[in-house]
Amino acid sequence: MALLARHFAEELGNTFAQAAQSEAAVEELWVSTQRDGVHLWLVTAPIDMATERRLHRLTGLLYDQFQSADFQLHVLNPRHHGGDARRALPSQAEQIPLHSR
- Dump pLDDT digits (tens) for 14-63: 999 999 989 999 999 999 998 888 999 999 999 999 999 999 999 999 99
Give the predicted TM-score (pTM) of the model.
Answer: 0.89
Listed in sequence order, the DSSP H helices in 34-78 are: 49-57, 60-65
- What pLDDT is stored for residue 3 in this prediction? 53
Residue 1 clears pLDDT 70, i.e. is over it: no
- What pLDDT is stored for residue 101 in this prediction? 42
- How far is the C-alpha of 94 from the C-alpha of 72, rounded, in Å? 15
* Domains of the chain, CATH where assigned: 3-96 (3.30.460.10)
- What pLDDT is stored for residue 100 in this prediction? 56
